[in-house]
Amino acid sequence: MAETAIRMEGLGKRFHIAKVQRKNRPMRALLTEGLAAPFRRIGRALHGGTAPDADETFWAFRDISLEIRRGEVVGIVGRNGAGKTTLLKILSRISRPTEGYADIHGRIGSLLEVGTGFHPELSGRENIYLNGAILGMRRQEITQKLDEIIEFSEIGRFIDTPIKHYSSGMTMRLAFSVAAHLEPEIMIVDEVLAVGDASFQRKCLGKMDEVSSQGRTVLFVSHNMGAVTQLCTRAVWLKDGRLHMDGVTDEVISAYLSEGSESHGSWSNSAAPDSGVETWLAEARLLDRTGQPASSPAFGDPFKIAIGYHINQPMRGMSILIKLVDARGDVVFETTDVDDSPLQLQVREPGAYVSTCDMPAHLLKPGRYHVTLMAYVHGVKIVHVAESALTFDVTARGYRMHAPRIGAVTPVLRWDVRPAGKTSDVPGAGKRRRLRHVG
């Protein structure tokens, strides 16, 4: 039997949220609540301390029991707020659990939030040594890896600059490089990879694949189901703070994406507009070629995806991204509203906007698709995400392929077919004859 790397038994984390709810309440209400607090505590003690006021606590997750074997690559998936990041913080010894325990067998390298464990006043080089010391490595060991870490991070020019001057993307590059190269037995990576550009994300995934092939354990949290499918042999699905499913990656991802995924061609953000974020995604709709609502476009018909959003403060370099994912969780493609537009470098002023993407006919083969929406600044930060906001089916009407096709898309391309006739009718034939006579 493979050696156990992580064992969790009845793990749970509870947060007190009463202070947040007291904000902006009248002074009289605060005084009354303060005077009543000792009596509430006595009442809870008399009931065994098991019935705290519902408005004072929140369980991020509860009753999580898992065993992860050494060398496993495990993806952790779930909606926003399912408890994924909180669980990783407990495994990284950043937070303490409220109940249960987790046994960790091996040195952990964590990449949870951009800049976690970095001192802003120290340079990139100094922070490499600081992180290595936290991992329990000797200075000589860190020095041996230093050049490799700097080269992988691609920020060698700024390595002696205090990281408080780094962008989010630069900090993430260095943080991942440190976590991957200082040889922890267990590597924990959260969604922060989304901060980097596409080429660096591929580089990071390749490095994690290399790390896992060396027998080290990887825990990987991501909303990119294609990356989870590619990297992980096992997946864990957290739902509403509970362990909902644990098994083979393909099966878990398929169940996760299919949950409640009846075809729905519209989405609206039920929360009130948040003035605290620069850009707030408000709604999205699937439209047919005439601009009417749609939910199941045919293979032979074009359609549109329209996204409504609010910009609360001037934004430079911002774009709206559509990520299209198939039923297996593989990313079919991504597209942004600045791909073929001068808006890429312009400032978008505050106000309400609609970005509409035209999807051509004869592209997506029949099947189910999920659309994730994202407002982000390229290479800097993600502002707002709406995961699997739209789910739709492409029907087989107009699909006249003579055999099943593999691949993410099935485009109908233009071909020219004619009898060859004379050899000279074949493109390039004359050129080939001339080449035979050379020399």
Is pLDDT of 346 > 90?
A: no
Locate 302 and state its tokens. Answer: 């074009």
Mean pLDDT of the chain: 80
Residues 152, 158, 163, 168, CA torsion sign: negative
Is the pLDDT assigned to residue 173 strictly greater than 70?
yes
- Decide if 344 contacts 319 (C-beta within 8 A): yes
Residue 237 has pLDDT above 50, yes or no: yes
Say how far apart CA 377 and CA 326 lie, in whole Å: 25
Of 202 and 218, more confident: 218
Q: Is residue 434 very low, low, confident or very high in pLDDT (cuts 50, 70, 90)? A: very low
- CA 385 to each of CA 86, 195, 282, 326: distance values in angstroms, whole numbers, following the listed order: 19, 13, 11, 18
| pLDDT at residue number 162 | 92
Query: Per residue in 72-88, pLDDT tens?
Result: 899 998 887 788 888 98
pLDDT confidence bin for 113, thresholds 50/70/90: low
Write out the H or E segment, with its range, that includes residue 245: strand 242-248
Largest CA distance in the chain: 104
C-alpha closest to that of 224 among 192, 261, 179:
192
Considering only CA atoms, which of 199, 186, 192 is closest in space to residue 174? 192
Q: Determine the average pLDDT of the residues in 411-421.
A: 87
pLDDT of residue 372: 92
Indicate the domain borders of the chain.
4-42+55-258, 266-394
pLDDT digits (tens, 9 = 90+) for 199-215: 777 777 777 778 777 88
Candidate from 9-18, 26-35, 161-170, 180-189 with smallest mean pLDDT: 26-35
Mean pLDDT calculated for residue range 403-423? 80
User: In CATH, which of 3.40.1280.10, 3.40.50.300, 3.40.50.2300, 3.20.10.10 is domain 4-42+55-258?
Assistant: 3.40.50.300
CATH classification code of 266-394: 2.70.50.60
DSSP E strands in 57-195: the ranges are 57-69, 73-77, 99-104, 108-111, 186-189
Per-residue confidence (pLDDT) for residue 32, from 0 to 100? 66
For residue 30, the model assigns a pLDDT of 58
- pLDDT one-digit tens code per residue, 280-301: 999 999 999 889 988 888 888 9
Share of the chain above pLDDT 70, in %: 80
**Is the CB of residue 266 less than 8 Å from the CB of residue 285?**
yes
CA 12 to each of CA 58, 63, 91, 325: distance values in angstroms, whole numbers, following the listed order: 11, 6, 12, 32
pLDDT band at 169 (very low <50, low <70, confident <90, very high): confident
Q: Decide if pLDDT at 355 tops 90.
A: yes
Look at residue 18 in the predicted model and tell me its pLDDT: 55
Averaged pLDDT, 167-190: 81
pLDDT(20) > 60: no
Is the whole model's pTM more than 0.75, yes or no? Answer: no
Q: What's the mean pLDDT in 373-387? A: 86
Same fold, 4-42+55-258 and 266-394: no
Contact between 382 and 193 (Cβ < 8 Å): no
Determine the pLDDT at residue 181.
80
